[in-house]
Amino acid sequence: MFMNRKSSTNLTKSAPWFGADDMSDSGKTIAQKLQAHAQRLNEGQSWVKAALGATPAQSFLREVAGLRVDASRQPWDQALRRDLTTWSLQRGLDTFRNAQFAGEQVNRSEARAARHCLLRAPDHVLNAKHQSALAATRLRFLEVADKIRQDPNIKHVIHIGIGGSDLGPRLLVQALSSIHASGLDARAAKQPDIHFAGNGDLHELEAVIARLNPYDVQIVLCSKSFSTAETLVNAERLKAWMNNESQDLFKARSIAITANIKAAQAFGVSDCFDFPDWVGGRFSLWSPIGLSAAVAIGSEGFKSLLNGAWDMDRHWLESDPYENLPWQLGLLDVWHRNAMHYNTRCVVPYDARLSRFPAYLQQLEMESNGKSVDQAGRAIHHASAGLVWGEPGTNAQHSFFQWLHQGTEPTPVEFIMIERPDHSDHAAHRKLLANALGQSLALLKGKSLDQASAESVKLANPSWSREQLAAHRTFQGGRASTIISLNRLDPSSLGALISLFEHRVEVAGFLWGINSFDQWGVELGKELAIDIENHMNSSQIHPDPQTALWIKLLEV
């Protein structure tokens, strides 16, 4: 799998171990070491044997900000981690991290900083950094959230937005509002229901409003640009729905969260919150974009979310790289892609409330690191982000786990567990956790042909031998997984979890040499859609024959 030293020129094309400009001796030495590690760990699947017999001292189990992360069942060991860490330091990851936090324009194609971390910093940190306006906005939007939450006239909030203006708030509401409706919060009985409509397909919104009375509704319009087509389609429909009931009801009951206040006002919303353009959409849930979530969990809950994230931020900013969780997991992500050549990573939360977490991660990881050029616009010659995907467990065990265990594409899995349930059936919860642990062990351990043959099973097909059936019941094993556990699913632990994933994305993006903070790849499709829509609305024939054919067939 790995080329030897003689072909080092080729190596630069297939792995990021050499920086684009770094052909120094120290750069070459560390690259050679990393290759040797890959050979050593893969040979006879030695990493699997080591992982199965790991002592606590050899395992990778870290506890940070209320999270436990166990990455012991991965194709790495202490020696590799040390060399990967050295490599990342040689590449200047610490300088990049500090520069990002200090507000340098790490998003070079848009000439912007990426300071979303500041949104969760406590007031005294913001004041010291001359960012007291951020603290003031936070105070104001959380006050508004509590007001909406306690207003007896507001029974429903409709949150409109897409991408980063939807996935984060939707995740938070789904993950956390049931906790706050189950007795932990005395005001819960009165809190409004939160509904989401993001899709450009109006069926989603129609299904929501069909059941509601416009007088009971508060609208929260989220769009950084306030020009996103889907959001405007939904907003127009809501405006018509409300104003049809009473003129100006829409204006009275709408709040816009945007970096383009003028556009929101021109649309007819006067009540607005803005946020700086250095907050990327997929990093914006900490800003007033989180308003609907703050309504669902209350201002104290939201502050606790921010505090949990900030705990992880401090760990990221201050702890030793070798002990630093986002740093190490980011290195593992790079190792997966560029040494193990895993194309995808599966994330399985063993908690139904986290069912939107994989979708949230898809934007975070794939919009950030699904790139083929470096910051300067030069082609990169190594793999960058792969596909991240998943579904909650145990549901997933009854759908795609067959593929994970016996398919031909070894894929690392991340199991996310919640240690303490918010219901009282601890036996049922133990069963759930046992399933997560069992799956992780099965992926690693597998079951050999001999083991399968030795088991006495009934032969459904009498003409078959035991060995024949055993082949179907064999598990290759040697499949990597990480276990992440949260003590409880609460705002603080979820904040820490999301912050951990944000930073590991930054680590991997930096080491791949790409800009994790732009998203030019979403533009072409949008442009072509506008052009096609114009053709649909006119008698002009579209220049692409197949598109022209479809326009005719669809007759819209």
Q: Which CB, 232 or 352, lies closer to ligand F6P?
A: 232
Contact 257, 275 (CB under 8 A): yes
Query: Which of 168, 214, 281, 330 lies at the binding interface for ligand F6P (CB under 6 A)?
Result: 281
Query: Which of 37, 81, 282, 371 lies at the binding interface for ligand F6P (CB under 6 A)?
Result: 282
Centroid of chain to Cα 433: 22
Measure the CA–CA gap between 225 and 234, rounded to whole angstroms: 15
Q: How far is the CB of 188 from ligand F6P (least distance, A)?
A: 30
Binding mask 511-540 for ligand F6P (x = CB under 6 A): --------x--x------------------
Q: Which CB, 33 or 159, lies closer to ligand F6P?
A: 159
Q: How far is the CB of 523 from ligand F6P (least distance, A)?
A: 8
Residue appearing with tokens 């913001």: 126
Of 60-68, 222-230, 312-320, 450-458, the segment contacting ligand F6P by CB under 6 A is 222-230
DSSP 455-475: S----SSTTS-HHHHHHHT-B
CB-based burial, 80-103: b 16+ in 10 Å, e otherwise = bbebbbbbbeebebeebbeebbee
Q: How far is the CB of 198 from ligand F6P (least distance, A)?
A: 9
Q: Which CB, 221 or 309, lies closer to ligand F6P?
A: 221
Query: Which of 223, 439, 492, 515 lies at the binding interface for ligand F6P (CB under 6 A)?
Result: 223
DSSP 8-state class, residue 363:
I
Binding mask 133-172 for ligand F6P (x = CB under 6 A): -----------------------------xxxx-------
236 has catalytic annotation: no
Q: Which CB, 162 or 469, lies closer to ligand F6P?
A: 162
Centroid of chain to Cα 290: 16
Phi-psi region of 338 (alpha: psi -120 to 50; beta: other; left: phi over 0): alpha
Q: Which CB, 263 or 548, lies closer to ligand F6P?
A: 263
DSSP 98-121: HHHHHT---BGGGTB---GGGGGS
104 has catalytic annotation: no
Contact 380, 514 (CB under 8 A): yes
Q: How far is CA 392 from CA 4, 84, 370, 440, 543, in A?
A: 41, 32, 24, 14, 44
Q: Which CB, 327 or 517, lies closer to ligand F6P?
A: 517
Judged by CB under 6 A, the number of residues near ligand F6P is 14
Catalytic residue, candidates 37, 159, 195, 367: 367
Strands lying side by side in the sheet with 61-64 = 61-64, 67-73, 481-486, 413-418, 344-349, 387-389
Q: Which CB, 281 or 509, lies closer to ligand F6P?
A: 281
How many C-beta atoms lie closer than 10 Å to residue 46's C-beta? 14
Interface of this chain with ligand F6P, residues 367 to 396, rule: CB under 6 A: 367
Measure the CA–CA gap between 106 and 375, rounded to whole angstroms: 9
Measure the CA–CA gap between 498 and 356, rounded to whole angstroms: 12
Binding mask 458-497 for ligand F6P (x = CB under 6 A): ----------------------------------------
Query: Which of 177, 231, 254, 368 lies at the binding interface for ligand F6P (CB under 6 A)?
Result: 231
163, 161, 339, 126: which is closest to 254 by C-alpha?
161
**225 binds ligand F6P, rule: CB under 6 A:** yes
Binding mask 46-85 for ligand F6P (x = CB under 6 A): ----------------------------------------
Radius of gyration of the chain (CA): 25
Of 133-141, 173-181, 219-227, 406-414, the segment contacting ligand F6P by CB under 6 A is 219-227
Catalytic residue, candidates 13, 147, 262, 398: 398
Task: Indicate the residue type of 114.
Answer: A
215, 172, 180, 216: which is closest to 196 by C-alpha?
172
Binding mask 178-217 for ligand F6P (x = CB under 6 A): ----------------------------------------
Q: How far is CA 24 from CA 7, 18, 37, 90, in A?
A: 16, 9, 20, 11
Q: Which CB, 181 or 261, lies closer to ligand F6P?
A: 261
426 has catalytic annotation: no
Q: How far is the CB of 281 from ligand F6P (least distance, A)?
A: 3
Of 54-62, 129-137, 225-233, 430-438, the segment contacting ligand F6P by CB under 6 A is 225-233
Contact 70, 60 (CB under 8 A): yes
How many C-beta atoms lie closer than 10 Å to residue 176's C-beta? 22
Interface of this chain with ligand F6P, residues 393 to 452, rule: CB under 6 A: none
Of 38-46, 221-229, 327-335, 502-510, the segment contacting ligand F6P by CB under 6 A is 221-229
Q: Which two tokens stand for residue 230?
A: 């889907």
Q: How far is the CB of 228 from ligand F6P (least distance, A)?
A: 3
Interface residues toward ligand F6P, by CB under 6 A: 162-165, 223-225, 228, 231, 281-282, 367, 519, 522
Q: Looking at the annotation, which residues are catalytic?
A: 367, 398, 526
